[in-house]
Amino acid sequence: MKLSDIGEFGLIERLSGILAPPAAPDLVLGIGDDAAVWRFAEEFLIATTDTMVDGVHFESGRTPWTTVGWKALATNVSDIAAMGGIPLFALVTLTLPSETEIDAVELIYVGLADCGREYGVTIVGGDTVRSPTLSITVALLGKAESRDGRPAILCRDSARPGDLIVVTGTLGDSAGGLRRLSMSAASDDPLVQRHLSPRPPLAVGRAAAEAGIECGIDVSDGLLQDIGHICERSRTGAVIRAADVPISDSLRAAYPDDALALACTGGEDYELVLVGDRDLLDAVASMIGIVPLTIIGEIVDDPERRVRVLDEIGEEVDFARHGWDAFR
Instruction: List b or e across 89-107, with b for residues whose CB sees 16 or more CB atoms inside 10 angstroms.
Output: ebebbbbbeeebeeeebeb
Same domain membership, residue 47 and residue 174: no
107 vs 123: CA distance, rounded Å: 15
Asked, for residue 321, whether it belongs to a domain, the answer is no
Same domain membership, residue 168 and residue 141: no
| Domain end (from 100, 123, 151) | 151
Q: Which residues of the chain have pLDDT under 70?
A: 22-23
HEC secondary structure over 117-137? HHHCCEEEEEEEEECCCCEEE
> Concatenated DSSP letters for 290-303?
TS-EEEEEEEE--T
Asked, for residue 318, whether it belongs to a domain, the answer is no
Asked, for residue 118, whether it belongs to a domain, the answer is yes
Cα dist from 217 to 125, 233, 252, 270, 320, whole Å? 28, 12, 25, 9, 23
| Domain end (from 151, 180, 201) | 151
Same domain membership, residue 194 and residue 61: no
Asked, for residue 222, whether it belongs to a domain, the answer is yes
Instruction: List b or e across 53-66, with b for residues whose CB sees 16 or more CB atoms inside 10 angstroms.
Output: ebeebbeeeebbbb
Beta strands 86-96; 122-130: pairing state: parallel
Asked, for residue 49, whether it belongs to a domain, the answer is yes
Asked, for residue 320, whether it belongs to a domain, the answer is no
CATH number at residue 291: 3.90.650.10
* pLDDT at position 155: 95
Same domain membership, residue 296 and residue 195: yes
Same domain membership, residue 168 and residue 295: yes
Helices 65-82 + 102-119 axis angle, to 10: 30
Same domain membership, residue 201 and residue 138: no
119 vs 200: CA distance, rounded Å: 9
38 vs 172: CA distance, rounded Å: 33
Same domain membership, residue 297 and residue 178: yes
> Concatenated DSSP letters for 70-88?
HHHHHHHHHHHHHTT-EEE
Same domain membership, residue 252 and residue 170: yes
Asked, for residue 157, whether it belongs to a domain, the answer is no
The total number of structural domains that make up the chain: 2
Asked, for residue 209, whether it belongs to a domain, the answer is yes
Beta strands 164-168; 135-144: pairing state: unpaired
- On whether the CB atoms of residues 163 and 213 are closer than 8 A, the answer is no
- On whether the CB atoms of residues 174 and 252 are closer than 8 A, the answer is no
Same domain membership, residue 170 and residue 143: no
What residues are paired with 91 via a beta bridge?
A: 125, 139
* pLDDT at position 185: 85
What order of strands is seen across the sheet that includes strand 43-53?
Answer: 27-29, 36-40, 43-53, 135-144, 86-96, 122-130
Same domain membership, residue 176 and residue 62: no
Q: What is the DSSP letter of 289?
A: T
Task: Name the region of 123 (left: φ>0; alpha: ψ -120 to 50; beta: rest).
Answer: beta
Same domain membership, residue 170 and residue 304: yes
| Domain end (from 128, 151, 174) | 151
Beta strands 215-218; 293-300: pairing state: unpaired
- Domain holding 258, by residue range, is 164-310
CATH number at residue 79: 3.30.1330.10
* pLDDT at position 322: 84
* pLDDT at position 22: 66
Same domain membership, residue 304 and residue 178: yes
* pLDDT at position 53: 96
